[in-house]
Amino acid sequence: MVPWLIRKTTGGAYNHVMLSLGADSFVSADMGRGVRIAKLADYPGARFAFCRVVSASDLQAKSAAAWAEQQTGKKYDAVGLGGVWLRFAVRALERRGFVSFWGKSKIADQAGYFCSELVAEAYLRQGADACRLDPTYTSPTDLYESAEVALLEEI
Ligand SMILES: [Ca+2]
């Protein structure tokens, strides 16, 4: 079973990530569609990198995917994704002691997920840290470049 995979654009950037449930079935938080079960054919022309979280056991990886599957039907968190773009600004404010001024919970939608938030939180809930970032501020590229993540195969 492949723990999860990440989508690559033709430009080389990674802009989407989802967890594998085995075979051609993935849990994916998609803009406009929310958390759902997807298949590769839903993303025509896309390239994918299959990856795994190095520190996660097979059981943790399966449990992460199972937890994500339970989130099916939850809405897409576009506001939270905006929080990723604001991450560096937020960190600058935090360093200056303005963290209470710019609380994370005020940015992110606690009920909904964007793609990389779903993956990062799924692993964190199993005790495996995918990229040492708060899921609320984790982008697909953060996951791909994480020291906790190993590339298995690109297709
Ligand atoms: Ca969220």
Name the residue ranges covered by the structural domains of the chain.
Answer: 4-154
Q: Degrees (nearest 5) of the Cα angle 76, 87, 46?
A: 50
pLDDT value, residue 108: 56
Residue 98 has pLDDT above 60, yes or no: no
Over residues 53-76, mean pLDDT: 93
pLDDT value, residue 94: 63
- Which is higher by pLDDT, 34 or 140? 34
- Which is higher by pLDDT, 35 or 82? 35
**CA 115 to centroid of ligand 1, rounded, Å:** 10
pLDDT value, residue 4: 60
Over residues 4-29, mean pLDDT: 78
**CA 17 to centroid of ligand 1, rounded, Å:** 15
Over residues 111-125, mean pLDDT: 92
**CA 136 to centroid of ligand 1, rounded, Å:** 6
Q: Under CATH, to which class is 4-154 assigned?
A: alpha beta
**CA 137 to centroid of ligand 1, rounded, Å:** 9
Provide the pLDDT confidence category of residue 106 given band limits of 50, 70 and 90.
very low
Residue 2 has pLDDT above 70, yes or no: no
**CA 124 to centroid of ligand 1, rounded, Å:** 14
